[in-house]
Structure formats: C-alpha cells, structure tokens
A and B are shown apart, each in its own frame.
Chain A
Amino acid sequence: MADLLLAVKWLLVTLVIIGGVPLLVADYQFLLVAFHFRRLHYAKCRPFFPRTAILIPAWNEHAVIGASIDRLMRLQYPLDRLRIYVVDDASTDATPQVIQAKAAEYPGNVFHLRREKGGEGKAATLNHGLEVILGDDWMQAILIMDADVIYEPDSLRKMSRHLADPRVGSVTAYIKEGSRPGNYMTRFIGYEYITAQAAARRSQDVLGVIACLAGGAQLHSRENLEAIGGRVDASSLAEDTVTTFRTQTAGRTVLFEPHATVWAEEPGSIAGLWKQRLRWERGNVQVTKMFSHVWFRHQPNNRLGSISFGLLWFCLLLLPGFMLLVSASLVTLWFIDSSLAWTAFHVLWLTNVITYVFITSFALLIDPVIARRVWFQALLFPGAVNVLILLAAVIPTPLYWVSRQLLSAAGLTATTGWVHGIELITYIWVAACMGVAFLGKVAEPRRFGKVLSPAFVYVGGYGPLLCAITVAAYVKELRHAEQKWDKTEKTGKVAAPT
C-alpha cells in the first residue's frame, strides 16, 4: 500500500513537471529569436517588382475600403505593376459604389469583382478573385490582404524582394495592432502580436518553417499559387494556415519579413475577440487533423515534421490541457502529501518566473515602439493573481509579511489551516484563471460590464482568456458545431503612426 502511494505521488509530481514543458518550449522559442540574424534571407534578395495583383475580399466594408485603396495606390511600387482586385461579396451597403468610384479614379489599377451570392465565407470570396486573376497571365505575384489593413508604403517592396529567389513561395509581413485610440483589449492584442508575430515568426524562420501566413498580408508567387491548386482551402476555418502548410509541403519556402509592417484593426471587446479567435482556434484544430501525417515525421522537402516545430505547435494548441493537468495533479497531491505538492509547485513556479521575466522583457525590447503603449498589459498578460503568485515565488518573505498584516488588520490570525487553504486555492487557480477570464465575456454585455469585464480579464489574465477560447474551440469541434464565417467587425479606427 505504501509503495502504491509512493508511486502515485511520483506520478503526480511527474505530471506537474510535464505541465511545465510549455514554459520551457516558450523559452526555447524566444531564445531562437536571438539567432534570427544568422538565418536571414537577404543575401538572396534584390530589388524585385513582379506584376502584383492585390486581392481584397470585401463584405460591407464601405467604411474602410476607399481609404484602403487610396493607401495602396501610394505604395512604393511601380503603378504599372500593380492591380487591385476587390471581391465584393454581395455587400448590402455602399461598398460596390465606393469600389466603382475608385475604379473610375484609378483606371487600369482598380477592379471591382462582384459576387451576387455571398455569405459563403472568406475562402469562397478569395477563390472567386483567384479564378479571375489566374485567368490571364498578367499576374506574377499576388498579395492577399484584408480590406481594413494599412500597409506601410515600403511594405510590399520589402516583401516582394524575397520573391527574387525562385525557391520562395510566399512571404508574410509583421502585422501590428493599430486601433486608435484603442482600449485595454487592443493593447493586450498589441502585446500579444509582438510575441505571436514579431517573436514567434522569427523563431519559426530560424527553424525553416512558418506556421501561418498572416491572413491580412500574404504575398505568393504565381508559381506557388498554381502549385497548390490555384485556390485556397474552403473546407476549414483556417484557409491561411492551410495555404501556408501546402506551400511548404509543395517544397517552397515561406518567409517572414519582420521589417514590412502592416497595421490592422483588432477587436476592442471580448465578444469580438472571442468570435475571431474561436474561428482561428477551430481552424488550428482542423489543420492539426488535416496534416496529421506530417507531425513529428521527417518530410523530404520541408521542416513541418521537425520535433521543434511540433513542440511549438502542440504546446500552444494543448496549453489549456497542460494547465488542467497541473492543477488536477497538484490538488490531488495536496490531499496526499501537501508538502510535496508545495515543493513541486514551487519548482514549477520558479520555472514560470524565469519564463515570465525572459519573455516579457525580451518581447518589449523586440518592438520598443509598441511596447510604450502596451507595457502595462504585457506585465499583466498572465493575470494579476498569477503575477502576484510569481512575485511570491521570488520575494516570499515580504509578501508573507504583508499577508499576515492584512489578516491581522481584519482581526484574523494566519494559522496552518489558513496557509494550507491558500495553497489549495493557488493550485486550483492554475486552471481556474481561465474560468475567471471567461467571466469577462459573460459580464461584458451586462450591467456594469464596462467595468467588470476588463476587471475579470486583468485578474484572470489575457493569456488564460485565450486558453479559454481554445477550450471552447475544442468543444465546438467535438460537437461538430456549425462552421460559419463570423466576420470581425471593422470600423476604420486603424491608423498607422505618423
């Protein structure tokens, strides 16, 4: 019996250690960024201006599409080598009129493609445009973008210079959150994009494999587009990721150009974020299944099957599972051997401290301009309670003293029972923070939602909120819920800094 108990204890400790794997993988990913300068593709670049068709899917985009076209016409790119095709997906607002006016203003550069039957999703809209564009041989490269994003004037030429190397199939840019004036949510997203785009895509570049071309900024060579069938995938919710994977399985390189900047308007509410990310996360689950044959298997012409890339992909996809695993293991261990549970937690949390300090400080240094706007959200990305626990792991004595003073002021004494109780709550919190962050979504449309909703996110954490969305995506996918394209609402609040 004693042996069995000992075995169970060590099994639980092992599970807690396994729960720390995503932290180590995150550290590894950020360490790779430091080596990006050794894997740059610039030696194979030259000034290169293929005849580029810009494809913009548009549904009810009258607020943004006119200004977007005007900005594209000011790109540092030869205008005789640029055509803009706007696929109007049966818009019911003034979008067709705006596009037609721009087509008249820029004859030979702007084209209006109208779908009379819309609502079939972004992929179907893109495929309509691709069919037309591939129908003649003018186009040598195609830039797929969103109607609202703002391209910095030099961004397209910085992307196209990589296509001078015929092995390169696609290039993506650095998408930055650009809503002005913005709010707490857009600032959280602003920081997230430093980690998920500026850092993650650099590290993927180092590994020689890119997980996803940004949907709003993907430049393909004609050869690549034809090699992957001349269409984007319409069967999943992640057509951009599928295109990225197909490009690489077809043997072409996908690159991230961090110095080509594109500004995007991102959701300013939890409801908007939830809708957008649920689509992305379900799409990622679908891609994982669709490309089940590549994971952790050697591929002759790409690095999608590498162990490093597999770890990066699955640690992110399974992060909520890791959090639940750690929480359940610690709680069970607490009942069996609370001091061992505390030791295991302490080791895990010190690893967490290292990860938090390294990633947060490095991410803010990667993009100091964005960092000036989002440093507060960066610090509270894991949630205020988690940050407090992190602090307790670094400076335990002062925090214990403060706790005792607070308890004493409330007329209470810190007994052993209290301490054990707080330990248990801390273990539960590892997973419960997702639920608390989710409460922000519940509170948002209700009375006092404007105050309560951000409070829940700050306390529970933006990171845990994203994990909660991943859980919701699993549930939707398991239940085979209807797969519909919930477009993110855009208002034209995005602005590039001057």
Chain B
Amino acid sequence: MTGDGQRPQPGGERKAYPGAPPSAPSFDREIDDAVEYERGLAVKALLALVLVALVLVIRVSFFG
C-alpha cells in the first residue's frame, strides 16, 4: 500500500510475518484490511452527516 492509499501492483510476492503462527494473515493482507477499514470510516462519517441532515430537515420542515 502506498502513501496515497494506492494498492501495490499485483503479482508481487506477499510478505509474511516471520515468527507468527501459521494461522496469522500475511503482512500485505493485514495492511489491505486495515486500509479498507479506514476507507470505510469515510463512508461512516458520511452516513453520520446524512443523519444530521435528516434531523435538520425534520426540524425545519415540521417545526419551523
């Protein structure tokens, strides 16, 4: 994952965590998951803002 959030080119060897148990995800996979989660927060912020807008619309439309 690059600094501006771009994904690395496919085909590269996936790095693993040495010393980690076999069930542990690879390093790249773990980073991808973390970045996905962080991107998802932007969407969640948008949802929260939509809720705020909804509250304001209710206030203005029904209660002047």
- In residues 353-397 of chain A, which contact B (Cβ within 8 Å)? 353-354, 357-358, 361-362, 365-366, 393-397
Task: Mark contacts of B6-41 with chain A using CB atoms, 8 A cut-off: 1 yes-contact digit, 0 otherwise.
Answer: 000000000111111100100100110011011101
| Separation of A76 and B24 alpha carbons in the complex (Å) | 9
The answer, yes or no, to whether A47 is at the interface (CB within 8 Å) is yes
Using a CB–CB cutoff of 8 Å, the interface residues on chain B facing chain A are 1-5, 15-21, 24, 27, 30-31, 34-35, 37-39, 41-42, 44-49, 51-52, 55-56, 58-59, 62-63
Residue pair A37, B39 in contact (C-beta under 8 Å):
yes
CB distance from B4 to the nearest CB of A (A): 7
CB distance from B7 to the nearest CB of A (A): 11
Residue pair A395, B58 in contact (C-beta under 8 Å):
yes
Show 25 residue pairs from A and B whose CB-CB distance is below 8 angstroms, ordered by the A residue: A31-B45, A33-B41, A34-B41, A34-B45, A36-B41, A40-B34, A42-B1, A44-B3, A46-B15, A47-B15, A47-B17, A76-B19, A76-B21, A78-B18, A78-B19, A154-B20, A202-B41, A258-B34, A258-B38, A259-B37, A353-B59, A357-B51, A357-B52, A394-B63, A395-B62
Residue pair B55, A353 in contact (C-beta under 8 Å):
yes
Residue pair A397, B42 in contact (C-beta under 8 Å):
no
Tell me which residues across on chain A come within 8 A of B17, comparing CB atoms. 47, 76, 157
Tell me which residues across on chain A come within 8 A of B51, comparing CB atoms. 357-358, 361
Residue pair B20, A76 in contact (C-beta under 8 Å):
yes
CB distance from B18 to the nearest CB of A (A): 6
* Range of interface residues on A (Cβ < 8 Å): 35 or more
The answer, yes or no, to whether A30 is at the interface (CB within 8 Å) is yes
Contact status of A358 and B52, CB under 8 A, knowing A43-B1, A397-B63: yes
Contact status of A366 and B44, CB under 8 A, knowing A38-B4, A76-B19, A395-B63: yes
Number of inter-chain CB pairs below 8 Å: 106
| Separation of A361 and B41 alpha carbons in the complex (Å) | 12
| Separation of A350 and B64 alpha carbons in the complex (Å) | 13
Residue pair B47, A361 in contact (C-beta under 8 Å):
yes
CB distance from A187 to the nearest CB of B (A): 21
A368's closest neighbor in chain B, by CB? B44
Using a CB–CB cutoff of 8 Å, the interface residues on chain A facing chain B are 30-31, 33-38, 40, 42-47, 49, 76-78, 81, 154, 157-158, 161, 202, 258-259, 350, 353-354, 357-358, 361-362, 365-366, 393-397
Name, among B5, B16, B47, the residue most crowded by chain A CB atoms within 10 Å (CB to CB). B5
Tell me which residues across on chain B come within 8 A of A37, comparing CB atoms. 5, 35, 38-39, 41-42
| Separation of A37 and B32 alpha carbons in the complex (Å) | 11
Tell me which residues across on chain B come within 8 A of A396, comparing CB atoms. 63
B19's closest neighbor in chain A, by CB? A78
B47's closest neighbor in chain A, by CB? A365
CB distance from B27 to the nearest CB of A (A): 5
Residue pair A42, B48 in contact (C-beta under 8 Å):
no
Residue pair B45, A354 in contact (C-beta under 8 Å):
no
CB distance from B37 to the nearest CB of A (A): 7
Contact status of A358 and B49, CB under 8 A, knowing A49-B19, A76-B24, A365-B44: yes
Contact status of A34 and B37, CB under 8 A, knowing A45-B31, A353-B55, A358-B52: no
Name, among A36, A37, A158, A357, the residue most crowded by chain B CB atoms within 10 Å (CB to CB). A37
Q: Interface SS of chain A: helix, strand, loop or mixed?
A: helix
Name, among A77, A353, A362, the residue most crowded by chain B CB atoms within 10 Å (CB to CB). A362
| Separation of A354 and B48 alpha carbons in the complex (Å) | 10
Tell me which residues across on chain B come within 8 A of A30, comparing CB atoms. 45, 48
Contact status of A354 and B41, CB under 8 A, knowing A47-B16, A47-B27, A365-B47: no
CB distance from A260 to the nearest CB of B (A): 10
Tell me which residues across on chain B come within 8 A of A43, comparing CB atoms. 1-3
Neighbour of B35 across the interface among A40, A76, A77, CB < 8 A: A40
Residue pair B34, A42 in contact (C-beta under 8 Å):
yes
A359's closest neighbor in chain B, by CB? B48
Name, among B1, B55, B56, the residue most crowded by chain A CB atoms within 10 Å (CB to CB). B55
CB distance from B58 to the nearest CB of A (A): 7
Residue pair B5, A38 in contact (C-beta under 8 Å):
yes
Tell me which residues across on chain B come within 8 A of A35, comparing CB atoms. 42
Contact status of A42 and B31, CB under 8 A, knowing A353-B55, A362-B45, A366-B44: yes
| Separation of A33 and B2 alpha carbons in the complex (Å) | 19
A199's closest neighbor in chain B, by CB? B41
B27's closest neighbor in chain A, by CB? A47
CB distance from B3 to the nearest CB of A (A): 4
Tell me which residues across on chain B come within 8 A of A158, comparing CB atoms. 30
B2's closest neighbor in chain A, by CB? A43
Residue pair A33, B45 in contact (C-beta under 8 Å):
yes
